[in-house]
Amino acid sequence: MHVLLKELELPHATVGCVECLSVAVLFEQVLLSFFGCDAASLLPRSPSLSDFVRVYRQQRSQCPSKQTRYIVMEKAELLRDADANLLPALLRLQELVEDNVTVVLLSEIVWDKFRPNTGCFEPLLLHFPDYSKGELQQVLSRDKHPSYSAEFYSSYINILLGVFFSVCRDLRELRHLAALNFPKFCEPLAEGKVKETDAHKLWRNIEPHLKKAMRTVYLREVSSLQWEQMQQTEERDTAAVRGLSAHTHVELPYYSKFLLIAAYLASYNPARTDKRFFLKHHGKIRKTNFLKKNEKTSNHLLGPKPFPLDRLLAIFYSVVDSRVAPTASIFSQISSLVTLQLLTQVSHADQLDAPKYKCAVSMDFICAISRCVCTCFLIHGSRRENRIVQVNGPFTSFLLKENVFFL
C-alpha cells in the first residue's frame, strides 16, 4: 500500500489504529499529513468528530486539491471498539467533508464482522490473496546474503519452508526465522567441511536445529538474542532451554512442590476415588448408574475442577512421606502458590473459612517438578480416571496398561 502511494505520489495519511488510544490522535495525524501542523493545532483540546469535520472543511476550502486524498488505516478492526459512530462516519467521510477523500481500511478480519447494527455505507471489498509456497520462496530469496550465491540461499529457503510451511505462513515470521538460522546453516561451509552444492550434508546439519527452533524461537520462548548466543556456545546440549515457560524457571520450596502435586491430583481426580488411592485399606467402590453414564469425558479434556482446602490438605498429608505439622508456613505456601498463579482461587475473596482452589498447571509441569522430588509416582491415565499410585524407594514393579507414565 505504501509503495503504491509513494510511487504514484498521492497525498495520503497513514494511521495505525493501534497507536490511536483516543480519537484525537487519529484526527491530529490526518490533519497533520494533509494540511500541516497549524491545521492540527486548530483542533480543541478533546476534539469530537464534529470538530474534526469542521476543521477539515475549513482547511479544504483554503487549499483545495485536484487529486484524491487517501487515508490508510491499519489494523482497522480496532475501530470497532472505539465509539460507535466513528466507523460509520469514516466510511461516509467523503460525503461529510465534501472533499475527494478515500478511506482505505486494512484488516485481517472479514467485513461481515465490522458491520454496525443499523447498517452503514458499504465499502468496496478487495481481497488480498495469500502467498503460495512458490511465491513465498521467491519473496524470501530476495534478501540473500551478499557473500553467498543466490541458489545457495534459495536451497536454504527451500529447506526452511519444508519444515515451517505446514505450521506457519506468515511472511514476517518466516523472514525472522530465516535471518536467525542462516549463520548456522553456513557454519559447515565456513568450517570447510562441506561444499555449497552438498545438499544432503547441509540438510542433516540444519534439520535438528530447525526443529529446535520451532520449539523455542518460533514460540517466543527464548528471545532472538538468547537464540544467537545459544548457537555460539556449545550446541550439543541436552539440558532444557531456559525458556519463558520452562519448568526449571520456577524454584519452589520442598513442601510447595508436594502441595502443587496434591493440588493437581485433587483437580483431576474425582473426589470419590480419593478413598481408594490414598488409604491403605479401602473397600470396593460400587459404580452407580449415574456414574456409568457420565464416564465419557476425561477430566483431562474438560480442565481442572475446583476443590476445597480440606481435601487438598488431606491429600497432601497422605502424599508427603514424612510427618508434617499443620503450621502457618504450610498455609502461607498455599497463598504464595496462588500469587504465582500456579493455583487459582475460585471462591470469593471474603470467604475465609472454606476457600476453593483449582490447579492451573499442566501435566508436563507436574512431571518436571516431581522429578526433583525423590519419590516415584506412577500415573495411570486411563480414559476415565487418573490413578496415582505412590511407589516409594526401589519398588519398581508396576502394571503396564495404556498410557502409563513413569516419573
Interacting residues with another protein (CB under 8 A)? 48-50, 53-54, 58, 83, 85, 88-89, 92, 94-96, 108-113, 118-122, 124-125, 127, 129-130, 132-133, 165-169, 214-215, 218-219, 221, 245, 300-304, 344, 346, 360, 362
Whichever of 246 and 391 has its CB closer to another protein, that residue is 246
Residue 159 near residue 203, CB atoms below 8 Å: yes
Least separation in angstroms between residue 49's CB and another protein is: 5
Whichever of 215 and 282 has its CB closer to another protein, that residue is 215
Rounded Cα–Cα distance for residues 218 and 87 (Å): 35
Least separation in angstroms between residue 206's CB and another protein is: 18
Least separation in angstroms between residue 87's CB and another protein is: 10
Buried b (16+ CB within 10 A) or exposed e, 281-317: eeeeeeeeeeeeeeeeeebeeeebbebbbebbbebbe
Whichever of 131 and 148 has its CB closer to another protein, that residue is 131
Whichever of 341 and 396 has its CB closer to another protein, that residue is 341
Whichever of 113 and 286 has its CB closer to another protein, that residue is 113
Residue 72 near residue 5, CB atoms below 8 Å: yes
Rounded Cα–Cα distance for residues 277 and 388 (Å): 7
Least separation in angstroms between residue 130's CB and another protein is: 3
Nearest to 363 by CA among 302, 309, 300: 300
Least separation in angstroms between residue 225's CB and another protein is: 20
Least separation in angstroms between residue 169's CB and another protein is: 5
Whichever of 6 and 211 has its CB closer to another protein, that residue is 211
Whichever of 132 and 229 has its CB closer to another protein, that residue is 132
Residue 24 near residue 47, CB atoms below 8 Å: yes
Residue 263 near residue 357, CB atoms below 8 Å: yes
Q: Supply φ then ψ for residue 369, to 5 degrees.
A: -70, -45
Least separation in angstroms between residue 85's CB and another protein is: 5
Q: Mind giving me the DSSP string for 135-171?
A: HHHHHHHTS--TTS-HHHHHHHHHHHHHHHTTT---H
Rounded Cα–Cα distance for residues 267 and 261 (Å): 10
Grid cell 468528530 is found at 49
